[in-house]
Amino acid sequence: MKETFIDLLFKTLPHQEASNLLDSLKQEPTTSLRVNHKKTTLSPENSSKVAHCESAFFLNERPVFTADPAFHAGAYYVQEANSMWIGRVFQYLRQTLGGGVVVLDLCAAPGGKTTHISSLMEGSDLLVANEVISGRKNILAENVSKWGDGNTWVCSADPAQFGRVGPLFDMVFCDAPCSGEGMFRKDRNAQNEWSLENVALCLLRQQRIVSDSWNSLKEGGYLIYSTCTFNAQENEDNVSFICNTLGGTLVDVSEIDAYGALYSIKKNQYRCLPYKSKGEGLFFAVIQKTTSCKTLNKNKPTHTKAKDSPILGFSLVEFKSKSWLIPNSHTPQLNLLNLIPGLFQIGTPFGDIFKEKWKPHSAVALLHKASNLPVVNVSDDEAMAFLRREFISKKTKEAGAVVVRWNGFDLGVANAIKNGLNNLWPMEWRVRNVFQCNSLFSR
């Protein structure tokens, strides 16, 4: 590690804490995941519980996740354990708000926090997941679809565009792009790329992101600011900037730490240090907005009509020349469609109607609600072939659209014909190499 980083660390933390942290950064990183309990009650083999997240586990070793059909089915999400504290923060804050909260995950890709928050939301809550980098937005949309909650809209917009819509959101999560010191164990190249100049650039970028999007947060709403770095400039100093310049008050969420795992330099600002809270580095603080802001958006609300759908509890909506499934509880929120910038996915992709026949999108089968389509069970080899988007040669009594199921996990949709299954797994989701099936879940 660079001497400049070590010097900065000792300026930021007390001597013993800095020494302990440096020792921990020399150790191997951990591998952790969150199980989607709406899809399975199983626990992964050879694992131990993550104390601060009831659905999460540490793995004894890192497998090839691409070779596990359960991974593609959205039965779990591979996520760094300490980043799961953000989901615990959401649970705590959610208790203070009424029904139908609207939440923005401002820097969402690839989707760890997004899928965690969506799994904890209540029936009429809506999550908007944003990724400004165009090359990363599609993996975010894919992971949201596979997770299968159906309560998330995905967009790609600059933070300033949200600032112009006015106060739409009850909560804004900003996991700000940072110098990445907390990821040194997982990415050794990050150590070589680190510099004081990069810290300074990140600091300005973080302040711009929060300042530009601040107007989109309702008065009394919560900004959850986080980074995966250790220095005070990008953490405590930035929180002071937000509170003093933009108008916010720090919120005490220390009740979420029943394990003594979090560490604070300043009150109501929390650090996850790898030797105290097993996982990588994370900083977070909750800031409640105390200044009012004007409604800037002059667009009129969209009066989009929802139609009945084949999926119980969901409605069908036309948007961007495509059909989407949204929970019935979200139909009152359709007036947000032309207010949220860069929106390109709402709820779950429905598929296409071709010659008066429904050609479902595989995301329909990945919803945790029943899809009402016939089911065809497949073997390990057939499941891996399906994920490669190959034709499955298999006799079946079914005809037309079917759900492809492996070991109780719904993988996607196929079109059953006389001699097999025409694969409807999305081309952009396909597995490009041949793997032998190897799952974390035994049955």
pLDDT score at 370 = 78
Give the mean pLDDT of the chain.
94
- Are 85 and 52 in contact by the 8 Å Cβ rule? The answer is yes
pTM for this entry:
0.96
Q: 13-29 burial string, b = 16+ CB within 10 Å, else e?
A: beeebbebbbebbeeeb
| Catalytic annotation present for 178 | no
Query: Three-state SS across the chain?
Result: CCHHHHHHHHHHCCHHHHHHHHHHCCCCCCEEEEECCCCCCCCCCCEEECCCCCCEEEECCCCCHHHCHHHHCCCEEECCHHHHHHHHHHHHHHCCCCCCCEEEECCCCCCHHHHHHHHHCCCCCEEEEECCCHHHHHHHHHHHHHHCCCCEEEECCCHHHHHCCCCCEEEEEEECCCCCHHHCCCCHHHHHHCCHHHHHHHHHHHHHHHHHHHHHEEEEEEEEEEECCCCCCCCHHHHHHHHHHHHEEECCCHHHCCCCCCECCCCCEEEECCCCCCCCCEEEEEEEECCCCCCCCCCCCCCCCCEECCCCCEEEEEECCEEEEEEHHHHHHHHHCCCCCCEEEECEEEEEEECCEEEECCHHHHCCCCCCCCEEECCHHHHHHHHCCCCEECCCCCCEEEEEEECCEEEEEEEEECCEEEECCCHHHCCCCCCCCCCCCCC
The set of residues, in sequence order, having a beta carbon less than 8 Å from that of 193 and lying 6+ positions away, is none
Alpha-carbon distances, residue 219 vs 126, 139, 224, 248, 332 (angstroms): 18, 32, 14, 10, 22
The set of residues, in sequence order, having a beta carbon less than 8 Å from that of 258 and lying 6+ positions away, is none
Q: Which of these ranges, 23-27, 180-184, 217-221, 294-298, has the smallest mean pLDDT? A: 294-298
pLDDT score at 293 = 67
Given a cut of 60, whether residue 443 has pLDDT beyond it is: no
Average pLDDT in the 45-70 region? 96
- Are 346 and 144 in contact by the 8 Å Cβ rule? The answer is no
Alpha carbon distance 329, 314 (integer Å): 8
pLDDT score at 297 = 63
Given a cut of 90, whether residue 201 has pLDDT beyond it is: yes
pLDDT score at 302 = 66
Average pLDDT in the 194-215 region? 97
Alpha carbon distance 222, 250 (integer Å): 10
Amino acid in position 365: A
More confident residue, 370 or 102: 102
pLDDT score at 299 = 64
**Tens digit of each residue's pLDDT (9 = 90 or more) over 269-313:** 999 999 999 999 999 999 999 987 666 566 666 668 899 888 889
Domain boundaries, the chain: 3-39+74-289
pLDDT score at 252 = 98
Alpha carbon distance 38, 147 (integer Å): 9
**Tens digit of each residue's pLDDT (9 = 90 or more) over 160-173:** 999 999 999 999 99
353 pLDDT tier (thresholds 50, 70, 90): confident
The catalytic position among 53, 228, 243, 437 is 228
Average pLDDT in the 81-109 region? 96
Average pLDDT in the 235-245 region? 97
pLDDT score at 51 = 95
Average pLDDT in the 111-137 region? 96
Q: Which of these ranges, 131-140, 142-151, 298-307, has the smallest mean pLDDT? A: 298-307
- Counting Cβ atoms within 10 Å, is residue 359 exposed (0-12), middle (13-18) or buried (19+)? middle
- Indicate the CATH number of 3-39+74-289 among 3.40.50.360, 3.40.50.150, 3.30.1360.20, 3.40.1400.10: 3.40.50.150
**In the structure encoding, which two tokens stand for residue 279, read together?**
């996982």
Give the whole-number percent of the chain exceeding pLDDT 70: 97
Alpha carbon distance 131, 342 (integer Å): 9
Average pLDDT in the 109-135 region? 96
Give the whole-number percent of the chain exceeding pLDDT 90: 88
pLDDT score at 242 = 97
383 pLDDT tier (thresholds 50, 70, 90): very high
pLDDT score at 54 = 95
pLDDT score at 305 = 83
Q: Which of these ranges, 25-34, 184-193, 385-394, has the smallest mean pLDDT? A: 184-193
- Counting Cβ atoms within 10 Å, is residue 120 exposed (0-12), middle (13-18) or buried (19+)? middle
**Tens digit of each residue's pLDDT (9 = 90 or more) over 391-431:** 999 999 999 999 999 999 999 999 999 999 999 999 999 99
